[in-house]
Chain A
Amino acid sequence: MAERVGVYICHCGSNIAGKVDVEDVSQWAGEELDNVVISRDYEFMCSSLGQELIEDDIKNEGLTRVVVGACSPHLHERTFRKACSNAGLNPYLCQMASLREQVSWVTEDEALATAKSKAMISGAVERVQLHEELEPTEVPVNPHSLVVGGGIAGIQTALELANSGNPVILVEREPSIGGHMAQFDKTFPTLDCSACILTPNMSDVSSHPNITLLSYSEVEEVTGFVGNFHVRIRKKARYVIEEDCTGCGICIEKCPKSVIDEVFEAGIGYRKSIYRPFPQAVPKYPVLDAETCIYFEKGTCKACEKFCPTNAIDFEQKDTFIDIDVGNIILATGYDTFDSRKIPQYGYGRLANVFTSLEFERLCNAAGPTNGHIVLRDGVTTPKSVAIIHCVGSRDTRFNAHCSAVCCMSALKFGHLVIEKTGAEVHSFYTDMRPSFKDYEEFYNRLLEEGMHFTRGRVAEVTEAALQPGEEGKLIIQVEDTLIGRQRRIPVDMVILMTALEPKPDAREVGLKFGISCSMAGWFTERHPKLDPVATMTDGIFIAGACQGPKDIPASVSQGAAAAARVLGMIMKGAVEIEPIVATIHEERCSGCRICNTLCPFNAIDYLEDKMVSVINQALCKGCGTCVAACPAQAITGAHYSNEQIFAEIEGLLFDVVQGNGAKPVVEEPEAVPA
C-alpha cells in the first residue's frame, strides 16, 4: 500500500519565506511528488499551532509519513518527532529538510533558492517512504558513579554525588588525592591558603560513607555503555596493608633512603622510599616505592617492617584488580606543565636559578622543602630581584597555540609573595596581561600599587654573560619592551618561568579507553563548547576541570559540580533511552569474513565461532555505519541510514536530473524507464 505523506513547509517568519517561495514549494510538492497527500506551508511550524497542524492531519487524514521543511534537524527534529508520536505515529517516520540553514540563509538568488528547496523536499519525501518504525530501548541507570582523577575538580564531583546519597568510586593515580592544588601555597586572587581550603574537602572524601577511594590505582578497561559500564581497576601494590595501617608514619621516619620527589615537590625536595607525598595526604596510608627501596634493590633493610607497630608492611603484595559496575563516569584527570627545557634560551636546567612555576610554588609553600623561604638553589641566599617570564610554551605556535589562562594570575600571585616575603624587586615580562575574571583585574591593580614592575615583551634570552657593570653574577633578561620599542637588559637573581598548562601526555590513550575524543592539542572534547561543556559525545561519560582545557580553580570546581548535576539527573530519572540507530548483521548473508570485526572502535562486533558469523551487540553499537559500508556481503544494515533510504534520498535530490532536463540517468531505475 502506498504511503500517505504530509509535507509541511515552514516560513520561519521571514527567515525562509523571505528568500524561498514557500507557497510554490508546498503547492509543487502536493501536485508533483508521488504519494504526497497533503502539502501545507505555515508561518511557524515549531509553534504549538504548527505542531497541532501535523498532529491533526495524522489523525484526520491518516498520514503515515511526515516531511517538515524548516530549520536544521539539530534544532527541531525532536520537536516534530514528538508531534508525530503525540498523534500515534512512530517518531522515526518523520524527516526534516533544512531549508533555512542550507537554503534561505546561504543562497543569494530567490529563484535558485526555491528550486533547491524543491530538490531537498523531494529527497526527504523519497527517503521518508522507506523509513521504518524504530523504538528507542530503555536501559536502567546504575546509581553508582566512577570519578577518575582526584584533583579539585574530581573531589568536587565525588562530594556532590556522595552528598546526594549516591555511591561513588574515586580512582586516583597518585598515592594521594589533591592534584595540583595540593602543591600550592596560596591561591589567587584572594590569597587563601591552598591547604586550608583543600584539605577539609580531602578529608571529607576519605571519611564519606558513600565514597570508596582507590588511590595509587588506574582504570585498566572499560566496557558496557551508558547506565551500565563495567570497569576494571588496577590497584597498584603499595606494600602496605591498608586495613592494618594506622597512618602513624613511623615507617617513613625510619626509612633510610631519601630520593628526589619529582612529582609532588616538582624535583626540588626529597621524600623517603616509603612515603606520603605530604603530611595531610588522603588516604593516610604510605606507599612503598619498589623502584628505589633498598630491600627490593639489595635484599636487605626492611626497616619499615621492623618498626611498623601494626605489622602493616607486606613486601609480597601484588597489584590487584577490582571490577566494578557503574552507571556514569566522570573524567577529571587534569593537566601537566610544559617542559621548559624545550626553550633552551631560557636556561632551565642549565642556569641554576631559573625555576619553573611549580618549583616556585613548592619553594614558597610553608610546608615545602625550604619551609616557605624564597631562596636561590644554594638554599640560603634570598634573591634581591626576581624576573617572572609569562607564556613559556603558551601562545607560541612552536609548542602550544593556546593561552594557558591561569599564568598571568599566578605570576601576580608570585609577585605578591616575593614582595611580601623578601622585599625583592619583581619584574614581570608579559605578552598581554589577562586577568579576566571576578576580582582579577583588581588584583593586578593591587600589584601595580605594591610596586611590581611590568614590561610588555617576549623575553629573547636569559643569560649569564655580563656585558655591563652591575651584571656580573646575575641572570640577565634580554627583552624588547614593545611599549617603548627599546631593547632592554635587566639583571636579576632569580627567574621564574610561567610554564604552559598542557594536556596530560596520555590523554589520547585515556580518551580512547573511555571512548571520547580529544582536540588536536589533546584536551578532551566536550559535547558542545558553549551549551554542553561537561558532557561528551559518548553518553554516560562526562569531563570536568583542566582535562577539558586550561582553567583556574573556581572554573574547575564549577565544572565538577556541573558534571555531578548531569549525572544526578540521570540517576534520578532511573533509565536512559538509547537511540535505535544501530547496525544489525543478517546472519544468513554473513560470510564470516570478519572484516567488520576490527572496524568497530567500540568493540560492538563479536564473531560467533560456532555459527561462523559475526554479530553486533546493539547496546554497544553507536550507529556510525562504518561496518555497514564495509561489509562485502552487504550483510549489515544500518537502521535509519540503510542503503535503500540513502539511495532514495539521492534520487529525490536529483529529481530534476533523473526526470529529464536532457541528462538521462545512466543506470535506469526500473520504474523510471518507459517501456
Chain B
Amino acid sequence: MADERFEPKIIAFLCNWCSYRAADLAGTARIKYEPNIRMLRVMCSGRVDPSFVLKAFALGADGVMIAGCHPGECHYLEQNYKTMRRFSMLKHTLQAMGMEDDRVRLQWASAAEGVLLAGAINEMIEQVRALGPLDWPKNWSENGNIEEAIEQLVEEHAEAMEVPV
C-alpha cells in the first residue's frame, strides 16, 4: 500500500461554450492528460452552485475544477465575473472548513486552449496527489480560525450576490 501511488478523483465543471470545447479540442489534437479527471457540462460557469462543489467533495472527490470562458468572453456576456466572485467566497468557506487551497481551481480556457486546459488538469492532479486523500471532517474540527473566516464569508457573500451590505 505504501508504495502505491495515490490516484485522486477530480470532478470538473466545464462551461458549454469555451471550456467544454477546449476539452473537445484537446481530444481532437490528441493531447494526453491523466485520466483522474471526470467532467460535467454546464451551460455557463455561472451555473456552478457552490453546493455542487461541496456535493462532489462530500461524495468523495479529492479535488474540483471549475472551468469557464475568459473574463469578457462569457457566452452570456458577464456571468463568469459572477463565477469569479462566487469562487473566492467558496474558497474561503472551504478554507474555514480546513480544506487545502489546491483542492479547488478556477480555470479559464477558451475554445482554442486545449493545450492549456490539459496542462492545467495535469498540474491540478499532481497538486492534489501531493496533498493525498481528502480527510475532510477531521481537518475541519481542528481549524482554529473558523470564526474569523465565517465573518469574512458573510461579507463576501453579500458582494458576490450583489446586494449592498
B48 contacts the other chain (CB 8 A): yes
B149 at the interface (CB under 8 A from A): no
Chain B residue at smallest Cβ distance from A657: B60
* B49 interface residue per 8 A CB criterion: yes
> Is A520 an interface residue, CB under 8 A from the partner?
yes
Chain A: minimal CB distance from B110 (Å): 10
Task: List 18 contacting pairs A-B, 8 Å CB cutoff, sorted by A.
Answer: A102-B27, A105-B27, A115-B35, A116-B38, A517-B72, A519-B73, A520-B73, A595-B162, A595-B163, A623-B43, A638-B47, A650-B56, A654-B9, A654-B60, A657-B9, A657-B59, A657-B60, A666-B136
Asked whether, in the complex, the Cβ of A537 is within 8 Å of the Cβ of B75, the reply is yes
- Interface residue ranges of B14-67 to A (CB < 8 Å): 17, 20-21, 23-24, 26-28, 30-33, 35, 38-44, 46-52, 55-61
The 8 Å CB contact of B73, one of A525, A599, A624, A649, is: A525
Instruction: Report how far A665 CA is from B163 CA in the complex, Å.
Output: 35
Which residues of A are interface residues toward B (Cβ below 8 A)? 72-74, 98, 100-103, 105-109, 112-113, 115-116, 119-120, 123, 512, 515, 517-520, 525, 537, 581, 593, 595, 598-599, 601-602, 622-626, 628-630, 632, 638, 641, 643, 646-647, 649-651, 653-654, 656-658, 663-667
**Given A601-B79, A643-B49, 20 other A-B residues pairs in contact with their CB atoms under 8 A:** A72-B23, A101-B24, A102-B39, A106-B31, A106-B35, A107-B33, A123-B38, A515-B77, A598-B162, A599-B162, A601-B76, A623-B43, A625-B43, A626-B82, A632-B161, A650-B56, A653-B11, A654-B38, A657-B59, A666-B58
Q: Which residues of B contact A598 (CB under 8 A)?
A: 162
**Most chain A CB inside 10 Å of its own CB: which residue of B30, B46, B47, B61:** B47
For this complex, into which size category does the number of interface residues on chain B fall? 35 or more
Given A73, A624, A628, A654, which contacts B56 in the complex, CB threshold below 8 Å? A654
Distance of B136 from chain A, by nearest CB (Å): 6
Do A624 and B44 touch (CB < 8 A)? yes
- The answer to whether B161 and A106 have CB atoms under 8 Å apart is no
Q: In the complex, are the beta carbons of B59 and A665 less than 8 A apart?
A: yes
CB distance from A109 to the nearest CB of B (A): 7
Chain B contacts for A105, CB-based, 8 A: 26-28, 30
Chain B interface main SS type? mixed
Query: Which positions in B face A, CB cutoff 8 Å?
Result: 9, 11, 17, 20-21, 23-24, 26-28, 30-33, 35, 38-44, 46-52, 55-61, 70, 72-79, 82, 86, 118, 133, 136-137, 161-163
When chains A and B are docked, how far (Å) is the Cα of A519 from the Cα of B33?
Answer: 28
A102-B11 Cα distance, complex, nearest whole Å: 13
Contact status of A654 and B11, CB under 8 A, knowing A519-B73, A625-B43, A629-B46: yes
Q: Which residue of A lies closest to B33 (CB)?
A: A106
**Contact yes or no, A624 B76, CB < 8 A:** yes
- Check A103–B35 contact: CB distance below 8 A: yes
A643 to chain B, nearest CB (A): 7
Task: Please determine whether B161 and A630 come into contact, CB atoms closer than 8 angstroms.
Answer: yes
Q: State the CA gap A665–B55 with chains docked (Å).
A: 10
B residues less than 8 Å from A632 (CB atoms):
161
Residue of A nearest to B80 (CB): A626
Contact B43 A657 (CB under 8 A): no
B52 touches A646 (CB 8 A): yes
Chain B: CB-nearest residue to A623: B43
